[in-house]
């Protein structure tokens, strides 16, 4: 359910019988969609109308397909009128305040190196001079804390109850791993709770001013991706894959999903694409060559670049010193920098 459909439905609901000239949509101050649940903040133009308004909202929204719960709260100040003409929703998807570009890093399945790529790409963008944040939203296996050497760290909140991201290697970093009691705790957050955590992770954070915030998504095409698509303004998504067929079958699904929810796919990154023989410098395409390019051209997306299989990558990740900072002159680090330059073409 997209915010726009919700606002459209509310706009059709007149309130003259309650003595109000506004329609229901004009009272809306904020709306969040969390799976099948909607959180709505309404302006209360007159005291005593709470129950009547709540009942009207529920009647309209519970009639929409896929909505199982509607929470209504009230505020005494009217919604801002600046951005949109009266009767139009003042927002569709929300941008994250202070963040110019939000880019999701997705993959079809786990283990293709999505987190490794997200972290090194963030560092490469930072080396190019951009102000970069990295949000680890992989609720099923947050690995950014390990990769960046932040294992066991916890986040703090300020007086306004907003989360303060950690800083490492010049990046602002937040991970769902910083919130778990211990790293061995299995994440049992499901459904609405998970979605709430994610929207909080984006919006209730002191990101400061960022040129780009990279989002390490869980693999696949689940609830997290859907929640993002419904609530958040993204510049686009990047899909990480390996050249193996299996991975590519899943990555097709992931790519199609991003398209269906109107998130532009900015390109695909081929990870573990080849091995460079340390003696001869020759490249060996262990998993085959050209399959990612074929896929990209079939889907009309761009290959942003290829990263070699490099034992140094995994070694350094385990040590918390990613290759882009640990060995910036290596072929692998240069591959990340070249991808970062291409990606940055979306920032103008
Ligand atoms: N280019 C690479 N060369 C060597 N090892 C890699 C490379 N990319 C990722 N790895 C290793 O593969 C494993 C899975 O990577 P990870 O980034 O955690 O995948 P995902 O986030 O997709 O589950 C990790 O041990 C990581 O260090
Ligand atoms: Mg991961």
DSSP result, 231-291: HB--SEEEEEE-SSHHHHHHHHHHHHHHHHTT--EEEEEE-S--EE-TTT--EE-TT-SSH
Inter-CA distances, 298 with 249, 267, 291, 302, Å? 13, 13, 11, 10
Under 8 Å CB-to-CB from 67, ≥6 apart: which residues?
1, 36, 37, 38, 61
pLDDT at 248: 75
Q: How far apart are CA 324 and CA 272, in angstroms?
A: 16
pLDDT tens column, 101-118:
999 999 998 899 999 999
pLDDT at 316: 97
Predicted confidence (pLDDT) at residue 83 exceeds the cutoff of 50: no
- Tokens 């915030």 — which residue? 213
Q: Could you tell me how far CA 325 lies from the centroid of its own chain?
A: 24
Q: Please enumerate, by residue number, every residue annotated as part of a binding site for ATP.
A: 108-115
Adjacency order of strands within the sheet including 210-216? 166-168, 171-175, 132-136, 210-216, 99-107, 236-241, 265-270, 303-306
Which three-class secondary structure state does DSSP give residue 329?
coil
Distance 116 CA to ligand 1 centre (A): 5
Q: Is the CB of 111 under 6 A from ligand 1?
A: yes
Q: How far apart are CA 45 and CA 92, in angstroms?
A: 23
- Across the range 203-223, mean pLDDT stands at 91
The more confidently predicted of residues 60 and 76 is: 60
DSSP conformational letter for 93? S
Q: Is the CB of 170 under 6 A from ligand 1?
A: no
Predicted confidence (pLDDT) at residue 29 exceeds the cutoff of 70: yes
pLDDT, the chain, mean: 88
pLDDT at 7: 87
pLDDT at 228: 80
pLDDT tens column, 230-262:
788 899 999 999 998 767 788 899 999 888 888
Closest C-alpha to ligand 1, atom 27: 314
The more confidently predicted of residues 117 and 88 is: 117
CB 28 within 8 A of CB 52: no
Taken in order of first residue, the domains within the chain and their CATH numbers are 3-75 (3.30.300.130), 99-347 (3.40.50.300)
pLDDT at 219: 86
pLDDT at 80: 61
Q: Please enumerate, by residue number, every residue annotated as part of a binding site.
A: 108-115
Give the mutation target among 314, 321, 339 for probing the ligand 1 site: most ligand atoms within 8 A of CB.
314
- Comparing CA positions, the residue from 83, 126, 120 lying closest to residue 105 is 120
Which three-class secondary structure state does DSSP give residue 333?
helix
Q: How far apart are CA 88 and CA 178, in angstroms?
A: 39
Distance 112 CA to ligand 1 centre (A): 6
Predicted confidence (pLDDT) at residue 90 exceeds the cutoff of 50: no
The more confidently predicted of residues 339 and 156 is: 339
Which three-class secondary structure state does DSSP give residue 68?
coil
Q: State the ligand closest to the CA atom of 247.
A: 1
Predicted confidence (pLDDT) at residue 220 exceeds the cutoff of 50: yes
């Amino acid at each position: 359910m997209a915010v726009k459909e919700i606002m459209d439905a509310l706009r059709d609901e007149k309130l003259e019988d309650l003595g109000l000239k506004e329609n229901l949509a004009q009272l809306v101050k904020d709306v969040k969609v969390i799976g099948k649940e909607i959180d709505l903040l309404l302006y209360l133009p007159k005291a005593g109308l709470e129950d009547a308004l709540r009942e009207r909202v529920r009647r309209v929204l519970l009639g929409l397909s896929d909505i199982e719960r509607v929470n209504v709260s009230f505020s005494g100040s009217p919604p801002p009128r600046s951005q949109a003409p009266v009767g139009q929703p003042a927002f569709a998807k929300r941008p994250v305040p202070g963040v110019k570009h939000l880019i999701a890093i997705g993959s079809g399945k786990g283990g293709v190196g999505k987190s490794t790529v997200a972290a090194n790409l963030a560092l490469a963008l930072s080396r190019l001079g951009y102000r970069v944040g990295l949000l680890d939203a992989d609720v099923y296996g947050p690995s950014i804390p390990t990769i960046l050497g932040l294992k066991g760290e916890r986040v703090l909140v300020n007086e306004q109850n907003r989360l303060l991201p950690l800083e490492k290697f010049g990046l602002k970093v937040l991970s769902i791993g910083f919130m778990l009691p211990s790293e061995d705790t299995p994440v049992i957050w499901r459904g609405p709770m998970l979605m709430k955590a994610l929207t909080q992770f984006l919006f209730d954070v002191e990101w400061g001013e960022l040129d780009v915030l990279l989002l390490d998504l869980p693999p696949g095409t689940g609830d997290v991706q859907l929640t993002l698509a419904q609530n958040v303004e993204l510049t686009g998504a990047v899909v990480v894959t390996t050249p193996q067929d299996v991975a590519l079958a899943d990555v097709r699904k992931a790519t199609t999903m991003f398209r269906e929810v109107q998130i532009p796919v900015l390109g695909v990154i081929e990870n573990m694409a080849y091995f460079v023989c340390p003696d001869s410098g020759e490249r060996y395409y262990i998993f085959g060559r050209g399959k990612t390019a074929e896929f990209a051209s079939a889907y009309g997306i761009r290959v942003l670049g290829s990263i070699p299989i490099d034992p140094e990558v995994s070694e350094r990740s385990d040590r918390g010193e990613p290759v882009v900072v640990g060995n910036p002159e290596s072929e692998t680090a240069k591959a990340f920098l070249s991808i970062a330059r291409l990606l940055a073409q979306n920032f103008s």
